[in-house]
Amino acid sequence: MGWVMAGWGAVVRSAQLVFAPSATDLGYKVAVHDTSPPPARDLPEPRPTRFRWAWWLLAYASLGMGILGVFVPGLPTTVFILIAAYAASRGSDRLHRYLVAHPRFGPMIHDWHLHRAVSRKAKWAATTAMAVCAAVLLALMVWVGPHRWWMVALPIACMVVVASWLWMRPEPPR
């Protein structure tokens, strides 16, 4: 099992090198060259559970889908990372600590745990991604030819519902 974790570690490290913003972009008031870990966050303690293995499996599957969402347009990243953090808090203390201390995912998870809040930047990113996906869907449907109306309306309606729910979430206090 250790080789699987080492493989995921390489994937995560690669994604961090490509997609990780600087510390100031994340809202930290530290120098960009500061490599010390972020301060411990005030999160609820994980509770012991009966089906620890199922939570562990869900945590790693969600993390994998979240990382895949970075590369696949239309596949959400934030939702899967939040699910991974929730499941890891019940199934994998090591993964939960890693996600909470992560410079990119940690602040997002922290805001969600404490305030059920989503930052304005994340809201705009998700809304923009959904709008682009809806435009691509409409363009493909026009280009490919006639389809049933619900084949376009249903995914766009889902995107509208998700975007509406997302914008109703409060923003984290800063």
Residue spans per domain, the chain: 48-115, 120-168
**How high is the mean pLDDT of the chain?**
77
pLDDT tier at 26, thresholds 50, 70, 90: very low
Predicted confidence (pLDDT) at residue 23 exceeds the cutoff of 60: no
Q: What is the pLDDT of residues 133-174, one digit of tens each?
A: 899 889 988 888 777 888 888 989 998 998 999 899 999 987
**Run of H or E including 44:** none
The burial class, CB within 10 Å (0-12 / 13-18 / 19+), for 90 is buried
Answer for the pair 149, 139: CB distance below 8 angstroms, yes or no.
Answer: no
Q: What is the pLDDT of residues 56-97, one digit of tens each?
A: 999 999 999 988 888 877 777 878 888 898 898 888 888 888
Q: DSSP states of 91-110 as a string?
A: H-HHHHHHHHH-TTTHHHHH
Please tell me the predicted confidence (pLDDT) of residue 27.
44
